[in-house]
Amino acid sequence: MLWEIDVHPRRDNSGQDALDREAADVAAVAAELGIVDDLSIRSARGFLVEGPALGNDQVDRLAAELFADALVEQTVAAPIGDQRLLQPPQPTDQGATLVQVLLKPGVMDPVAQSAEAAASDFGLSIDAVRTLRKYWIAGASEQQLQEISSRILSNDAIEQIVVGPLPFDRLQLGCEYQFELKTVPLSGLDDEGLRRLSREGQLYLQFAEMQTIQRYFAELQREPTDVELETIAQTWSEHCSHKTLAGRIAYRDQQGERQFENMLKETIFAATQTLRTRWGEDDWCVSVFRDNAGVVRFDDKHNLAFKVETHNHPSALEPYGGANTGIGGVIRDTIGTGMGAKPICNTDVFCFAPPDTASHSLPPGVLNPKQVMRGVVAGVRDYGNRMGIPTVNGAVYFDERYLGNPLVYCGNVGLIPRDKSFKEPQPGDLIVSVGGRTGRDGIHGATFSSAELTSESESLSGGAVQIGNAIEEKKVLDVLLAIRDRGLYTAITDCGAGGFSSAVGEMGENIGAEVWLDRAPVKYEGLSYTEIWISEAQERMVISVPEASWDEVHQLCAAESVEATIIGRFVPTGRLVLKYRDQVVADLTMDLLHKGRPPVIREATYLPAPPQALVLLPQEDYTNDLSAILGSYNVASKQWIIRQYDHEVQGGSVIKPLVGAQMDGPGDAAVVRPVLDSRRGVVIACGMNPHYGQFDTYHMAASAIDEAIRNCVAVGGDPSRVAILDNFCWGDCEKSETLGSLVRAALACHDLSLVLETPFISGKDSLNNEFSYLDDNGEKQTIAIPATLLISAMGQIDDVSHCVTMDLKAAGNLLYLVGVTKDELGGSHYALIHSQAGGSVPTVDAAGAKQTFVSLHGAIKQGLVASCHDLSEGGLAVAAAEMAFAGGFGAQLDLSLLSVADDSLSTAARLFSESNTRFLCEVAPDQAEAFEKQLAGIPVARIGQTDAHARLVIQESPDGRTLIDADIAELKQAWQQPLNW
């Protein structure tokens, strides 16, 4: 029998409501989106509970003791169909429309799963539980109601709306699967037929690849089965094989032509290889560009694993679920590195369109950027916090071109014992799936993420969108670390894009594998063998277990309520054989999968943008400009986001994302101490500058690298122990100029890495970040994202007690500017707030940067620096303002004292130029001599001092003109207000 238990905010007898926060939130968003002001709405949460012998008493007990807290909530419990379930909470609401929101069947519902177990613990026989949300809305028009339902209450990718009573009286899911082997006729297809099959079958393979597959099966004199075709498509997908960047590229720029056989290998990997050879015995890289994450040395007992992934396309369609599973996925990457790392912190970087983009200007199929941002932040929050992994670092960038294609980068650092850093599955090992069950979730995620988004994507690929279940992953993590430490498996990897197909295919690449698909535990009946094989259901890991260890593995998992199932065996055949109930449904050679893809050959061209002067009129006063930059979305305080993340769990927090006298200043990098009885720290930072890419992606990449490293150095990180990751998010790389701009960025990565001696240890790319739609005239419009390279840095520090923060510490201290200021306002925030194009983009003097980093690190390590802040967006003026208001002290600076490349440098450039490799340092007078001595040979200038006046005053000698004079509280207000949601 099916019952419903509704949980309402408690209302007292006077008719006065308790706070209905859910309703208040919906009403606020409805007003914000301009749908309706002062919406009259009430909300409740509902639980559908099905059990063969459930009666009134039992349901009432569940309502009182499980589902509701009588102190703040009240319940309505009744069999489905009962009128009481439809009644509005208050008699005064008569006539309100009831809108019910349910997850679509098969979408992950963690609360329902937990509730089912918890209800059973009452000694009741429970078949199933589902959750729903209910809203009673009054006084809205039909049109408004429709808009509220579809744009605020639900997301069509995962949820369904029911207006009025529920149209079912049982919770059955799935139906029995009738096995039928499906083959796909390939032999007779002409060119157009092959292209159509690739597109309509959601294989997203290129024509040459389809031809190769056709030839392979022609030689075998048979047609492929559906699952064979899916396996090849997934293994060869851009997402899994990185065929463009690791492919052949003919690159041409003003200096001539260059042929790459494997572009990534010959640029970024090559630099790391050169460094490792140069270091010889001192090489501190352990495993680079081969495992799920890059691994470097940490201390005598541990290594560190680091990986950053993107989850852009799912987040565009369903921000919460996309970000949720994005962070869940990258955490599995480090768990699946070597023999398994323990995740110790997260970093998350997002790119959105400005949150104040008008709703009516959005193209079809595009979600409001503010809602996207809220959903993404909530998705990361709910997964990271539940996993107990502190989210310590991040950044958010805004640009209109991220409108249809927001970027969500999720990163994770793991700690791994030195002797567990490598894996090798053995022939004969059992293939064991650990964790969540397999469902229809995320079918075609790997191939979908390699396609361009369109306004139709939602209906086409809704199955690729999922919700995560963090607690399942936490359970898997806990038990796998215990199993790892007992040495019971020989290899581990995660089920990410491509599901079992990708995990088993990669693990068995050098051996061969036989998989028994009918053994995989499923969430519900009715899954075909193909669905089981390519499902991207979350929270699953695959381990290879020697037969003798299986019993112990199984027992350990069972002891922590984690499901572990044998689904096959690694057999030394060099083939991938899939069986369903003993029937062979696929039989492919590993060679075809991993070496058979025809090389992708691409043209790439780079044409330098013609130089353009930046025209800016000199001003008398720049205080308003400073406030405007502080209040621009990129620079503004991200406190609203940061405080929603648990950044202190695991107890190793040393430098938090917000620092200073009021704990609200913007720290340059986070520091954590992952081993609680050690003083050694890990530093996490990032660098990114999409606005420089329009000028030159080489300098954009160089600037991002410099920024990521200088953020590490600013808090005390050792510049000789910084490892970095590249994450390229680009547009359609079949366009030669787009690919050319990417190659040029990769060349910069190579060059900078070598000179700075900073190795890249892992990376990832996401191409085709373009959104297309039909405009009002029926013409196809495409928005491509700006070239966006995220550089994530993981530094180390011997003793965390040497760390410094960016907040001013005392009055009467000296301020030194380290580094040279140049006329580099191109792409700067000063140019942005004045809506001016042109100018020179910041460049990096890599050799000089290396010296500066090493010298400054020495000064910080000796305790000579009271505070230190890197100069980035907004240049010197913004850095000085942030240091002042974070510390609660004033500062006076004289711009004529700067180290400059050219004495005629304009006042605006002195204030706001974003030249790289610069730091503003606070030094106590009695340390000044030692500080200057330590920085001998480095461009450094004493440019001012701190005071107790709570004002930032910037002048320029010789005439002593005051250019900025502002109350630091007002500057802080300008900086905090824009994103203070």
Partner 1 sequence: MPQPKVLILRAPGTNCDAETSFAFQTAGGKPDVLHLNRLLESPRLAADYQILCLPGGFSYGDDVAAGRIFANQIRHHLNDVMQEFRVAGKLILGICNGFQILIKSGLLDADDSEGPSASLAWNDSHCFIDRWVHLQAVEGNCVFLAGIQRLILPIAHAEGKFVARDETVLDQLEDAGQLVLRYTADDNPNGSLRNVAGMCDRSGRVFGLMPHPERFVDPTQHPQWTRLPEIAEGAGLRVFRNAVGYFS
The residues annotated with a catalytic role in the active site are 239, 311
> Measured from the CB atom, is 387 or 604 closer to partner 1?
387
Phi, psi angles (nearest 5°) of residue 359: -60, -40
Q: How far is the CB of 368 from partner 1 (least distance, A)?
A: 20
In which order are the strands placed within the sheet that holds 159-163?
Answer: 73-79, 2-9, 40-50, 128-138, 97-103, 159-163
> Measured from the CB atom, is 70 or 220 closer to partner 1?
70
> Using an 8 Å Cβ cutoff, are 599 and 242 in contact?
no
Q: How far is the CB of 69 from partner 1 (least distance, A)?
A: 5
The SS3 assignment for 700 reads: helix
Q: How far is the CB of 149 from partner 1 (least distance, A)?
A: 21
> Measured from the CB atom, is 60 or 648 closer to partner 1?
648
Binding site for partner 1 (CB under 8 A): 19, 21, 25, 64-67, 69-72, 110-111, 113-115, 117-118, 121-122, 381, 385-388, 469-471, 474-475, 478, 559-561, 642-656, 658-661, 663, 673, 676-677, 800-801, 803-805, 807, 809, 867, 887
Helix, strand, coil: what percent of the chain each, to 5? 35, 25, 40
842 prior amide bond cis, ω within 30: no
Q: How far apart are CA 744 and CA 766, in angstroms?
A: 16
> Measured from the CB atom, is 658 or 950 closer to partner 1?
658
Tokens matching residue 344: 């110790």
CA distances from 142 to 36, 54, 364 (A): 12, 38, 20
Q: How far is the CB of 716 from partner 1 (least distance, A)?
A: 10
> Using an 8 Å Cβ cutoff, are 842 and 928 in contact?
no
Nearest partner of 713 among 842, 818, 829, judged by Cα: 818
> Using an 8 Å Cβ cutoff, are 793 and 930 in contact?
no
> DSSP string spanning 756-814?
HT--EEEEEEE---EEEEE-TTS-EEEEEPPPEEEEEEEEEES-GGG---SS---TT-E
Tokens matching residue 323: 């970000």
> Measured from the CB atom, is 552 or 621 closer to partner 1?
552
- Which helix (H) or strand (E) segment holds residue 256: the answer is strand 256-260
Tokens matching residue 902: 């050219």
> Using an 8 Å Cβ cutoff, are 340 and 423 in contact?
no
Q: How far is the CB of 691 from partner 1 (least distance, A)?
A: 31
> Measured from the CB atom, is 23 or 785 closer to partner 1?
23
How many Å is the maximal CA-CA distance in the chain? 90
> Measured from the CB atom, is 724 or 800 closer to partner 1?
800
> Using an 8 Å Cβ cutoff, are 569 and 431 in contact?
yes
> Using an 8 Å Cβ cutoff, are 918 and 706 in contact?
no
Q: How far apart are CA 975 and CA 981, in angstroms?
A: 13
Q: How far is the CB of 859 from partner 1 (least distance, A)?
A: 15
> Using an 8 Å Cβ cutoff, are 343 and 488 in contact?
no
> Measured from the CB atom, is 191 or 648 closer to partner 1?
648
Q: How far is the CB of 679 from partner 1 (least distance, A)?
A: 9
> Measured from the CB atom, is 613 or 663 closer to partner 1?
663
- Which helix (H) or strand (E) segment holds residue 131: the answer is strand 128-138
Sign of the dihedral through C-alpha 872, 875, 878, 879? positive
Q: How far is the CB of 579 from partner 1 (least distance, A)?
A: 33
> Measured from the CB atom, is 217 or 350 closer to partner 1?
350
Which residues are CB-neighbours of 490 under 8 A, at least 6 positions away? 423, 424, 425, 426, 429, 544, 545, 546
> Measured from the CB atom, is 652 or 759 closer to partner 1?
652
> Measured from the CB atom, is 61 or 265 closer to partner 1?
61
Q: How far apart are CA 527 and CA 580, in angstroms?
A: 12
Nearest partner of 911 among 830, 852, 970, judged by Cα: 830
Q: How far is the CB of 566 from partner 1 (least distance, A)?
A: 23
> Measured from the CB atom, is 560 or 902 closer to partner 1?
560
Q: How far is the CB of 685 from partner 1 (least distance, A)?
A: 17
Tokens matching residue 227: 């699952």
Which residues are CB-neighbours of 544 under 8 A, at least 6 positions away? 425, 426, 429, 430, 431, 432, 489, 490, 491, 492, 507, 570
> Using an 8 Å Cβ cutoff, are 99 and 91 in contact?
no
Q: How far is the CB of 661 from partner 1 (least distance, A)?
A: 7
Q: How far is the CB of 846 from partner 1 (least distance, A)?
A: 30
Q: How far is the CB of 25 from partner 1 (least distance, A)?
A: 7
Of the CA atoms within 13 Å of residue 66, those in its CB half-sphere come to 26
Q: How far apart are CA 292 and CA 93, in angstroms?
A: 55
Nearest partner of 703 among 684, 690, 722, judged by Cα: 690
Phi, psi angles (nearest 5°) of residue 444: 75, 20
> Using an 8 Å Cβ cutoff, are 75 and 59 in contact?
no
Phi, psi angles (nearest 5°) of residue 302: -125, 150
